[in-house]
Amino acid sequence: MMSFSAVIGSVELGLIYAILALGVFLSYRTLNTADLTVDGSVVTGAAVSAMLCSIGVHPLASLLVAFAAGACAGAITSLLNIKLKIEPLLSGILVMLGLYSINMHIMGNRANLALLKSPTLYKIVESALPGFDHSALLVSGLFLAIIVIGFYLFLNTRLGYCLRATGDNEYMVRASGINSNAMKILGLAMANGFVGLAGGLLAQYQSYAEIGMGTGIVVIGLASVIIGETIFEFFAKSIPLLLRLVAVCVGSVLYRLAIAFAISAGMPANDMKLISALIVTVALSVGPLKAWGRQLLGSAFSKPSGKEARQ
Amino acid sequence: MIRIQHLSKTFNPGTINEKPALQDIDLELNRGDFVTVIGGNGAGKSTLMNCISGVIPADCGTILLDGKDITRLPEHKRSLYIGRVFQDPLKGTAFDMTIEQNLAIAFAKGKSHGFQPGISKKERELFREKLALLDMGLEDRMTQKVSLLSGGQRQALTLFMAILVKPVLLLLDEHTAALDPATAKKVLELTDLFAESPDMCTLMITHNMSDALSHGNRTILMNDGRIAMDICGEERDAMTVESLIEAFDIKNDRMLLK
């Protein structure tokens, strides 16, 4: 059985990963591209934020820089795609690969960077609220809430409309006098900005940044998006935008809880990535799986209808 | 109004698949013109439109719109002066957004795309009032997603979006070809209504020769990347589908369908 503190820990982590998942939502759902930059840009965000914290920059300011660094990575991926005509998937992989070296440089050629003695947002809030046990929950939750609301408001501005339409239909966007390429760059930059921010917050939460922390992160983001959507769609056919964003956050927290539960039930931590890959595979194949299920059930249980029987 | 000079386009130049799609096209449209364009497959009709709208760059020649040289402008900048409706009803609208959001994007053409609200209350009222012109009940469904609309409704909406901010030129690329006859008729009626605007000229590609003669005030026939016929006025009034076929020996089954 999971302890209460393990549950709280998972929720805290889930809230941070939700910011990343919102970035994945933006690239995967809104812009309709699978962006693999994420695996690299989350480390970039963590490395930037950790490095800045360790040299005395205010943790909050370091998060802004983490956002900007992630955004640059996303913009580069998009530019590779638009200007050099490299496939979106490959552009993401190239940037992700290149970021590995850059991330090492940011961390001063170390594979990890501990923040044991440096101030972090979590430490600051914890010492500001003595006697309050859940300051980490407060910090992550507050951050996420601001981002969800801000993101929602942005998506309802004129610029946000253009961004959403670009993922839907580029022809229409260009026919409406909008530079669809600029929208794609903006979108991927924003998406990876969120990812970088999540990375920075994660580094401050766990008090270290590590070069390998990004491996498979994009899959976790996707899993969160899909889990959340699947659950919410269970209750309503069409979900308003704000609830879709909330669904992504819920999905992220549920994913963390599920993993923590599996580990407490005895799953080796090394199997986590395999399980994540399986979850996303199943979630992405819901359509075909349903069709197969209907076929199987249909052939086994269906009786010929009256019309067929007459023939 | 719009003046096209020496416009040429060759696909796959220097290869075995080389195809001259437009050969030295000269065309001048006047304010208020509604020109129908006919011609067999591969005659260059769509290429002409794509060169005008900037989807594909022309090899040579110039396109002047209201005296302004738009030949080298990117597609999205030309769109500020050009309204377009595509053959595929899916291409004209953002399916995962609502009707009013689609209209808001069309309405923001040429304005700044910043952090202002995507749609204002005033705009919403304006859209509601104007949508009623389509007579399709869309004004009561403004917050529904476009994905719920039929092909005909989408095409009518796209047409409406194309003329919402008064373009100089309206390009219609077989915009009724994918619709059933009754819906096609309705969309064509709307086209006639909107094309009446005296400050805009309209270029409509159609495969339907009787439509080509019964709509608009001028008809162009394209063949092998050239303008083979350009009629208006009495000459056009006297023209029938039969005489068109006879005169130009058109061997295209699709064009014979009325």
Among A32, A158, A184, most B C-beta atoms within 10 A, so best to mutate, is: A158
C-alpha to C-alpha distance for B62 and B239, rounded to whole angstroms = 31
Q: Does residue A299 have a pLDDT over 70?
A: no
- The answer to whether residue B108 sits within a structural domain is no
CB atoms within 10 A of CB B20: 17
User: How far off is chain A from B31, nearest CA to CA, in Å?
Assistant: 21
Chain A residue numbers touching B113 (CB-CB < 8 A): 158-159, 162, 178
- The answer to whether residue B144 sits within a structural domain is no
C-alpha to C-alpha distance for B194 and B186, rounded to whole angstroms = 13
| pLDDT tier for residue B245 given thresholds of 50, 70 and 90 | confident
User: How far off is chain B from A35, nearest CA to CA, in Å?
Assistant: 20
Query: Quick one: tokens of B177?
Result: 């070809």
Q: Which of A159, A171, A178 sits opposite B91 (nearest CB)?
A: A171
Cβ separation B97–A161 shorter than 8 A = yes
Window B:209-238, CB contacts with A under 8 Å: none
- Percentage of chain A modeled with pLDDT above 70: 95
**Closest Cα in chain A to B144:** A238
Whole-number mean pLDDT of chain A? 91
- The answer to whether residue B255 sits within a structural domain is no
Cβ separation B92–A175 shorter than 8 A = yes
- Please tell me the predicted confidence (pLDDT) of residue A300: 60
Put residue B54 in one of left, alpha, beta given phi > 0 → left and psi -120 to 50 → alpha: left
Query: For residue B85, what are the domain limits?
Result: 2-91+150-250
Cβ separation A172–B92 shorter than 8 A = yes
User: How far off is chain A from B144, nearest CA to CA, in Å?
Assistant: 10
The structure's pTM equals 0.90
- The answer to whether residue B68 sits within a structural domain is yes
- Please tell me the predicted confidence (pLDDT) of residue A50: 96
Cβ separation B118–A174 shorter than 8 A = no
Q: Is there a contact between A82 and A170 (Cβ–Cβ < 8 Å)?
A: no
- The answer to whether residue B45 sits within a structural domain is yes
pLDDT, tens digit (0-9, with 9 covering 90-100), for B11-37: 999 899 899 999 999 999 998 999 999
| pLDDT tier for residue A289 given thresholds of 50, 70 and 90 | confident
Among A172, A181, A237, most B C-beta atoms within 10 A, so best to mutate, is: A172
Chain A residue numbers touching B77 (CB-CB < 8 A): 177
- The answer to whether residue B258 sits within a structural domain is no
Q: Is there a contact between A20 and A205 (Cβ–Cβ < 8 Å)?
A: no
- The answer to whether residue B133 sits within a structural domain is no
* Beta strand extents in A8-107 (DSSP E only): none
User: How far off is chain A from B62, nearest CA to CA, in Å?
Assistant: 21
pLDDT, tens digit (0-9, with 9 covering 90-100), for A229-265: 988 988 887 889 999 999 999 999 999 998 888 888 8
Cβ separation B108–A161 shorter than 8 A = yes
A81-85, A114-118, A295-299, B141-145, range with the lowest pLDDT: A295-299
Distances in whole angstroms, Cα of residue A161 to Cα of each of A167, A169, B98, B163: 10, 12, 11, 20
Over its C-alpha atoms, chain B yields an Rg (Å, rounded) of: 19
Q: Does residue B257 have a pLDDT over 60?
A: no
pLDDT, tens digit (0-9, with 9 covering 90-100), for A199-223: 999 999 999 999 999 998 999 999 9
Best CA proximity match to B171, nearest among B205, B217, B213 = B205
Average pLDDT over residues A280-297: 82
C-alpha to C-alpha distance for B137 and B93, rounded to whole angstroms = 18
- Cβ within 8 Å of residue B46, ≥6 positions away: B173, B205
pLDDT, tens digit (0-9, with 9 covering 90-100), for A83-112: 999 999 999 999 999 999 999 999 999 999
Q: Does residue B84 have a pLDDT over 90?
A: yes
Chain A residue numbers touching B111 (CB-CB < 8 A): 158
Best CA proximity match to B157, nearest among B207, B104, B200 = B104
Average pLDDT over residues B88-112: 93
Q: Could you tell me the sign of the dihedral formed by the alpha carbons of A78, A80, A83, A88, in that order?
A: negative
Instruction: Say how many domains are in chain B.
Output: 1
pLDDT, tens digit (0-9, with 9 covering 90-100), for A53-88: 999 999 999 999 999 999 999 999 999 999 999 999
- The answer to whether residue B102 sits within a structural domain is no
ipTM: 0.90
Q: Does residue B258 have a pLDDT over 70?
A: no
- Please tell me the predicted confidence (pLDDT) of residue A20: 97
User: How far off is chain A from B13, nearest CA to CA, in Å?
Assistant: 21
Average pLDDT over residues B210-218: 92
Each as own residue / partner, the long-range contacts of residues A7-10 (CB below 8 Å, 24 or more positions apart, any chain) are A7/A257, A7/A260, A8/A134, A8/A137, A9/A260, A10/A253, A10/A256, A10/A257, A10/A259, A10/A260
For chain A, the residues whose C-beta falls within 8 A of a C-beta of chain B are 154, 156-162, 164-165, 167-169, 171-180, 238
Chain B residue numbers touching A176 (CB-CB < 8 A): 79, 105-106, 108-109, 161
Q: Does residue B255 have a pLDDT over 70?
A: no
Q: Where are the domains of chain A?
A: 4-214
CATH number at residue B170: 3.40.50.300
